[in-house]
Structure 1
Amino acid sequence: MASKDRIQRQKEETRNSILDAAYAIVKEEGWEGLNMRKIADRIEYTAPIIYEYFANKQAIIEELTCKGHNNLTKLVKAASETETHPDKKLQAMWVAFWNFAFANKELYQVMFGVEMKCCVQSDNFERETTYQLFVKCIEEIMQDQQPTGAEVKIKYFTFFSVIHGLISVNMIGNGLSETTNEQIFKDAVVAITRSLYKQEEIPVKETTSS
């Protein structure tokens, strides 16, 4: 049994080494620079060994994409647990989303299709997703209005469209300073959060991306 456990552990370590090497190459050369030979050279294995774990480059990209989505979900969930007030919670979650994008630029590009085709293999995602976390929080804020599922979905995609758009133009380059871009992000999050409330309700004023 110990021998089987050791073999399984070694296989998992090799698999992770392949993924780590692949992402290191991507960070240096971009997704177009990734290939199986470079991965094998990076970890000093032969190419056939790499193919024992992944059928092709696309399989590696899909695995990295899934890991990226799972990591993003964990970060957004952790951010939601730092606040108790629903609108502060929602703003903290979008800050986590924003920070993830710039800390993991190459992953974000392939996860959400920035300057390249989006890669998604949803059956490998963990059960809870960032979408579900955001929707749950939006529903909590809007509960007195008894919104329909469609209305909540519209609010989520309003957030996502604006924030993903800001992230995308930042990555491509919009000529604005980092400080200006962060202020635009903060203003957008606060403004959309306020739109979730009835007119007589007063939401939280400010958010921060640091």
Structure 2
Amino acid sequence: MSKESNSVQEQLDLKQNIISESWKIIIKEGWQALSIRKIAEGIGFSVPVIYKHFENKEAILAHFSKEGFAILAEKIEQSISGITPGAMRLRAIRDSYWAFASEHTAHYRIMFGLGIPACEAINSNTEMRATSDLIYAAITDLLIENQHTTDEAYLKLKTFWSILHGFIAIELLAKNSITHPPAATINDAIEGFIYTLIHKK
């Protein structure tokens, strides 16, 4: 029994080493540079050992993506705690989302390496869905507060997310980092978005 327990612990430790080495490579060279060969060389094991824990490189990146969305959802939830009005929640979400991208840029690059996730991807990922649900709830409440239907709430969710991601992508392209606090341009864009929801433009 003891021998089996040690073996299980060794496997858990090895998996954590794979994750840690992968993150080192990502931070140093970028997520596109990650490879199973580099990870194996870094931890001193053969390539087949890595495949026992992760099916491929994409599975490792998916681990960090889920981790990032979990952090993002937690930050958003904390930022809107105790805030009822939808407009104020959307502003808080804007600020916490931007702060996340600034503080966890490596995670953000992995999470959105292929752009805004499709609805199918969001629905199949618990951590991603948590972020989506928080934004959707704020948009829905703002519409209801102003006596509008919520028929286009999902469309507005995608618009809101696209605005946030678009400005962050521009920052990354221009500076390779995210300034903090949010730029005046994104504040202006979100205020315009909120205005359209209130007045149903």
Q: Same-fold call, TM > 0.5?
A: yes
Verify: 1:168 aligned to 2:169, yes or no. yes
CA distance in 2 between partners of 1:80 and 1:138 (Å): 13
1:148 aligned to which of 147, 150, 160: 150
Match of 2:70 in 1: 70
Q: Which amino acid aligns with 2:174?
A: G
Match of 2:26 in 1: 26
Q: How many residues align?
A: 196
Runs of 4+ off more than 4 Å: 1-10, 116-122, 177-181
Identity %: 26
**Between 159-168 and 71-80, the greater mean CA deviation after superposition:** 71-80
Calculate the TM-score normalised by the size of structure 1: 0.76
CA distance in 2 between partners of 1:8 and 1:91 (Å): 46
CA distance in 1 between partners of 2:125 and 2:5 (Å): 23
CA distance in 1 between partners of 2:45 and 2:101 (Å): 31
1:123-138 alignment to 2 at 5 Å?
123-126=124-127, 128-138=129-139
Per the TM alignment, residue 69 of structure 1 is displaced from its structure 2 partner at its CA by: 2.0
Per the TM alignment, residue 94 of structure 1 is displaced from its structure 2 partner at its CA by: 1.8
Q: Are the structure 2 counterparts of residues 118 and 36 from structure 1 closer, same or farther at C-alpha, using a change threshold of 3 Å?
A: farther
Which structure: greater helix fraction? 2
Contact 2:72–2:131, Cα closer than 8 Å, also in 1: yes
Structure 1: runs of 5+ lacking an equivalent: 200-210
Q: Are the structure 2 counterparts of residues 135 and 2 from structure 1 closer, same or farther at C-alpha, using a change threshold of 3 Å?
A: farther
Verify: 1:194 aligned to 2:188, yes or no. no
Match of 1:86 in 2: 86
C-alpha RMSD of the superposition: 3.3
**Between 121-130 and 156-165, the greater mean CA deviation after superposition:** 121-130
Per the TM alignment, residue 118 of structure 1 is displaced from its structure 2 partner at its CA by: 7.0
Calculate the TM-score normalised by the size of structure 2: 0.79
Q: Which amino acid aligns with 1:18?
A: I
Per the TM alignment, residue 183 of structure 1 is displaced from its structure 2 partner at its CA by: 1.2
